[in-house]
Amino acid sequence: MMGDRRQNNSAYTANNGRITMPFGDSAVLIKFGDCIAPEVNRRVHAMACAIQHAAIAGVIEVCPAYAELAVYYDPLLIHYDELIAKLDALDTADQQQSGRDCIITIPVSYGGTDGPDLEEVARLTGLSSREVVNIHTQQIYDVFMIGFLPGFPYMGIVPSAIEVPRLAQPRLKVPRGSVGLAGRQTGIYPCEAPGGWRLIGRTDVAMFDAQRAEPCYLRPGDRVRFEPV
């Protein structure tokens, strides 16, 4: 009987430009590219939305990343080739803007003890601290993925004017709610943890709360704007 459920381990390339391949013995990886770019990430989330709406029997979980999407499934309930066929048949056109019309505002206290690296970011970029804050708050950011810590949102694209590298020596303790910069991304620490992002502010909004119906405050695909307080 188990021989009938054997997986086809060959990679599958769809006509729509995405590549689908085995990801272990109970998951599929769908690749949309190999870069961090909003347009690529939007395709990832459109596909994730389409899969969730399709409610494919045997699919357990869908996990979006920057340019890839992992689809976990029960091989006893659906065969690999059957899953691939169902995924390939999905139309993501109606999902492109799903859940992206609302912009979530995050209040942030910038500088001082809340943002100990703000002055250094200003020095590295040749801007004033006020200019760094203005640029950071004028951009609308896509939540590319949640990772590193429960509820930690990887967001971008940060304007090139305030693009800065991570710290050479990470901190052992970054306070909960700290808002940081790292390259072309910005993020929020959901809890106290080690970290190497440059801290420019802090928010009181809880990024993760296990007691909430939806523990993560932000979800992949959300759009975010920061507001100085």
Are residues 9 and 121 both part of a single domain? no
Which residues of 74-192 form beta strands (DSSP E)? Answer: 103-110, 141-146, 153-156, 171-174, 178-182, 185-188
Q: Is the pLDDT of residue 41 over 60?
A: yes
Domain count, the chain: 2
C-alpha span between 132 and 145 (Å, rounded): 24
Query: Of 65, 95, 125, which closes a domain?
Result: 95
Alpha-carbon distances of 227 from 136, 163, 179, rounded to whole Å: 9, 19, 12
Claim to verify: residue 107 and residue 91 sit in the same structural domain? no
Q: How confident is the model at residue 206 (pLDDT cuts 50, 70, 90)?
A: very high
Are both 110 and 222 inside the same structural domain? Answer: yes
- In this predicted structure, which of 30-39, 140-149, 212-221 has the lowest mean pLDDT? 30-39
Q: Is 83 exposed, middle or buried (0-12, 13-18, 19+ CB in 10 A)?
A: buried
Average pLDDT, the chain: 89
Look up the CATH number of the domain holding residue 112.
2.40.100.10
| pLDDT tops 60 at residue 14 | no
Domain check: are 114 and 222 in the same one?
A: yes
Q: What is the CATH number of the domain that holds 74?
A: 3.30.1360.40
Query: Do 47 and 114 reside in the same domain of the chain?
Result: no
Q: What confidence tier does 35 reach under pLDDT thresholds 50, 70, 90?
A: confident
Please identify which residue in the block is written with the tokens 């590219």. 33
| 212 and 165 within one domain | yes
- pLDDT higher than 50, residue 9: no
Q: Are residues 69 and 151 in the same domain?
A: no
126 in the same domain as 83: no
For residue 13, the surrounding DSSP H or E stretch is strand 12-13
DSSP secondary structure letters along 158-179 = PPGGG-BPPPSS-EEEE-TTEE
| Ramachandran region, residue 44 (left: φ > 0; alpha: ψ -120 to 50; beta: rest) | alpha
User: Does residue 22 sit in helix, strand or coil?
Assistant: strand
Phi, psi (rounded to 5 degrees) for 206 = -75, 115
Does residue 7 register a pLDDT over 50?
A: no
User: Do residue 79 and residue 148 come from a single domain?
Assistant: no
Above 50 in pLDDT, residue 75? yes
H/E segment holding residue 69: strand 68-73
77 & 132 share domain: no
pLDDT for the residue 63: 93
Q: Are residues 91 and 132 in the same domain?
A: no
Domain region containing 224: 103-228
pLDDT, tens digit, 9 for 90 and up, residues 108-136 = 999 999 999 999 999 999 999 999 999 99
Task: Assess whether 65 and 9 both reside in one domain.
Answer: yes
